[in-house]
């Protein structure tokens, strides 16, 4: 797992792990990240599917309950198949845009 923390967010890439191994490791470290905006970046991983994306649902909901953003970067997923509780975008730049838009929404009280 490759973790890059900035002032505004934590960027996490799975590295060489399978999605199941990655989510297990991430869940073990979740207390470290619960107060941070998270970008999970699968842009370099080719074979990820909607079932694997759905494994992140509980983690995403928990972050939103704590007024934190949780975004998954993944290309090739049909966005209409993803529940609204999970933000999935095709590029890292769009993930940054989501973080910014959600920060504005929180500031406005939405």
Is pLDDT above 80 for 17?
no
Average pLDDT, integer, range 7-35: 88
Pairing of strands 70-73, 38-41: parallel
Q: At what angle do helices 19-33 and 57-65 cross, to 10 degrees?
A: 10
Tens digits of residue pLDDT in 46-102: 678 889 899 999 999 999 999 999 999 998 888 888 898 999 999 999 999 999 999
pLDDT band at 5; cut points 50, 70, 90? very high
Q: How long, in residues, is the chain?
A: 110
CATH of the domain at 14: 3.30.750.24
Q: How many domains does the chain have?
A: 1
The domain containing residue 73 runs over which residues?
2-108
């Amino acid at each position: 797992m490759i973790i890059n923390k900035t002032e505004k967010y934590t960027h996490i890439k799975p590295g060489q792990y399978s999605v199941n191994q990655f989510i297990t490791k991430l869940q073990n470290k979740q207390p470290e990240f619960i107060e941070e905006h998270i970008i999970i970046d699968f842009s370099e991983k080719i074979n990820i599917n909607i079932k694997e994306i759905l494994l992140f649902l509980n983690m995403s909901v928990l972050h939103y309950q704590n007024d934190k953003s949780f975004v998954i970067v993944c290309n090739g997923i049909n966005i209409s198949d993803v529940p609204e509780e999970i933000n999935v975008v095709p590029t890292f730049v769009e993930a940054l845009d989501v973080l910014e838009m959600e920060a504005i929404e929180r500031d406005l009280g939405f």
